[in-house]
A = this chain, B = another copy of it.
């Protein structure tokens, strides 16, 4: 039995907001391109390990590139503080209850950075597998971090997010021995939604898998 919500009355408003967001995202992209900054938008569930991946990425890049981090959160500056401690120039966006970043928020944060100083921009979106998928920010790549404890059914249940990303980090693989996570079933769901998606199984606890992710990132940075 299926019951759909009848939210059609909201569609024109939603379309206007999304069109305005697309326009501003395109302007953000231009600013990044003019400054020679490669930007990635990192999305995930709460607790999938976005900030830990950013910390490990900064360590893996080893100071070869200048990195800015923009951290979106409903509350606190815990993530921005961690990114700053790991060596990035960090800007915090407190969304004040909003469940995703949008291009307006990113524009405001970009204005706080002297962009030509940087090579790489890591944007940490709000922890949410639904809303951030609908709002392009103007970054060059959208990255999703899945984590093993979330379960192997997530691609099937959050198709919009899995469809729209350019790379997938599968985090917390050190927990695979303790969790009934069927990697084949997970990968089959990913394959159905996004057949050419590049994936990086990693563990922030052990460091496993980060070399491949860093190689991919550096290759894109050098092309940018």
Q: Please give the residue numbers on chain A whose beta carbons come within 8 Å of chain B beta carbons, in ascending order.
A: 1-7, 13, 45-47, 73-79, 91-99, 102, 104-105, 108-109, 112, 126-131, 134, 147, 149-151, 153-154, 156-160, 172, 174-175, 178-179
Contact of A45 (CB < 8 Å), options: B6, B45, B92, B174: B45
Report B-chain residues with C-beta under 8 Å of the C-beta of A159.
74-75
* In contact, B93 and A46 (Cβ under 8 angstroms): no
Smallest Cβ-Cβ distance to A104: which chain B residue: B5
Smallest Cβ-Cβ distance to A146: which chain B residue: B47
* In contact, B98 and A7 (Cβ under 8 angstroms): yes
Report B-chain residues with C-beta under 8 Å of the C-beta of A6.
104
Once the chains are docked, how many angstroms separate the CA of A91 from the CA of B73? 33
Closest chain B CB from A71 CB (angstroms): 10
Given the contacts A2-B94, A5-B98, A127 and B127 also touching, CB distance less than 8 Å: no
Report B-chain residues with C-beta under 8 Å of the C-beta of A129.
46, 127-128
* In contact, A97 and B160 (Cβ under 8 angstroms): yes
Closest chain B CB from A183 CB (angstroms): 15
Given the contacts A130-B74, A149-B172, A158 and B46 also touching, CB distance less than 8 Å: yes
Report B-chain residues with C-beta under 8 Å of the C-beta of A75.
156-159
Report B-chain residues with C-beta under 8 Å of the C-beta of A149.
47, 147, 149-150, 172, 175
Smallest Cβ-Cβ distance to A111: which chain B residue: B3
Once the chains are docked, how many angstroms separate the CA of A102 from the CA of B6? 11
Report B-chain residues with C-beta under 8 Å of the C-beta of A76.
153, 156-157
Smallest Cβ-Cβ distance to A148: which chain B residue: B149
Report B-chain residues with C-beta under 8 Å of the C-beta of A154.
46-47
Given contacts A45-B46, A99-B99, A127-B129, 4 further A-B contacts (CB under 8 A): A4-B93, A7-B96, A47-B150, A131-B131
Report B-chain residues with C-beta under 8 Å of the C-beta of A130.
74, 97, 99, 126, 128, 131
* In contact, B95 and A5 (Cβ under 8 angstroms): yes
Once the chains are docked, how many angstroms separate the CA of A129 from the CA of B97? 11
Once the chains are docked, how many angstroms separate the CA of A134 from the CA of B74? 13
Q: Which of A98, A149, A160 has the largest count of B CB atoms less than 10 A from its CB?
A: A149
